[in-house]
Amino acid sequence: MMKIIPITDLDGFQIGQAQDRQQGTGVTCILSMEGATAAVDVRGGGPATRETDLLDPKNMVQKINAVVLSGGSAFGLESSSGVMQYLKEKGAGLGMKGLVVPIVCQASLFDLPCGSPDAYPDKAMGYEAAKNSEHPEWKSGCYGAGTGASVGKLMGFENAMKSGIGSCACQIGALKVGAIAAVNACGDVFEPDSKNRLAGIYNRAAGMEINTEDAVLNRMTQSMEGMNTTICAVITNADLNQAEMTKLAGMCQNALARTIRPVHTPNDGDTVFTMTTNQVPMDLTAVSVVAIKALSEAIVDAIKSAEPMFGLESWSSLEEKKAKNNA
């Protein structure tokens, strides 16, 4: 039977976060000191990433030491340098002629409208997040890479809703699979495989929720440029090779399709990383079923854990208003 476990209970991984909640940005890192077999699948049309080409199975490096998820758009890619510094100090990385080079991959989301447009995770914040992984204390919501995340920006930031970062981890027997998602989507977010909308465009002046797919169809002749993205990491102990992990990353994009509508648009940078410690022999399809469930729930957690910030309503604040109106 499947049971839910804390995301920090996956052996072989260290997870740390750092953020500036006043300026609206942050970073989340998943570290593997011994190296994890890893892969990536990028579906969105506007990704801000680092070292994703390295994860092609035909390339030399088969294992990495960290995945970094951050805000700051392309500016936020600087935070990986701090994670690299931390790993180097710990002696973790690829050994090359007496040198150690930590292998760090990253994806960043666009959170510049929240807080200060000049704020982004830098090297110091990346180092802080890595250091914090020594004493893991996971927080979902407006923390780490989800600090400045929002959804429903098709009709302008003033009509967006606050989102954040979420997690979910599952265990069946010896198999453990965890997922982390920072949700900054262009589309609406729903409960998995349902019509129960959780967040998206919200017209504050009218107090009205607007379906993003309907808004897209109503604006077909207008520019629909936006800076959005959902960035995710799936971690497991399943013994899968890099080709299988690449397939797993692609299959995990199904979790985004089950919860976000529309998804993988030209305005998104949707990216899923996968990492494994290769400890438990397991069938890829079985792992994918658990991973898709975990990632779907992590996306929902990112929405339900978010609080109203930066002038934006959140799922929780709207639920409170609905409860008062129905009282």
**pLDDT tens, 264-321?**
888 788 999 999 999 999 999 999 999 999 999 999 999 999 999 999 999 999 988 8
Tell whether the model's pLDDT for residue 144 goes beyond 90: yes
Residue 148 has a pLDDT of 96
Tokens of 326: 């129905």
pLDDT, tens digit, 9 for 90 and up, residues 157-173? 888 999 999 999 999 99
Q: Tell me how far apart the alpha carbons of residues 58 and 42 are, in angstroms, rounded to a whole number.
A: 17
Residue 136 has a pLDDT of 82
Residue 149: name the closest of 190, 122, 177, 121 by CA.
Answer: 121
pLDDT, tens digit, 9 for 90 and up, residues 216-259? 788 654 555 556 789 999 999 999 999 999 999 999 999 999 99
CATH code of 113's domain: 3.60.70.12
Q: Tell me how far apart the alpha carbons of residues 201 and 223 are, in angstroms, rounded to a whole number.
A: 17
Q: What values do phi and psi take at 277, rounded to 5?
A: -95, 0
Mean pLDDT rounded to a whole number for the chain: 92
Identify the domain containing residue 217 by its residue range.
3-326
Tell whether the model's pLDDT for residue 215 goes beyond 90: no
pTM, full prediction: 0.94
pLDDT band at 126 (very low <50, low <70, confident <90, very high): very high
Residue type, 23: Q
Residue 323 has a pLDDT of 84
Q: What average pLDDT does this structure show over 17-27?
A: 97
Q: How many domains, the chain?
A: 1
Tell whether the model's pLDDT for residue 60 goes beyond 60: yes
Higher pLDDT, 229 or 126: 126
Strand partners, 30: 15, 67
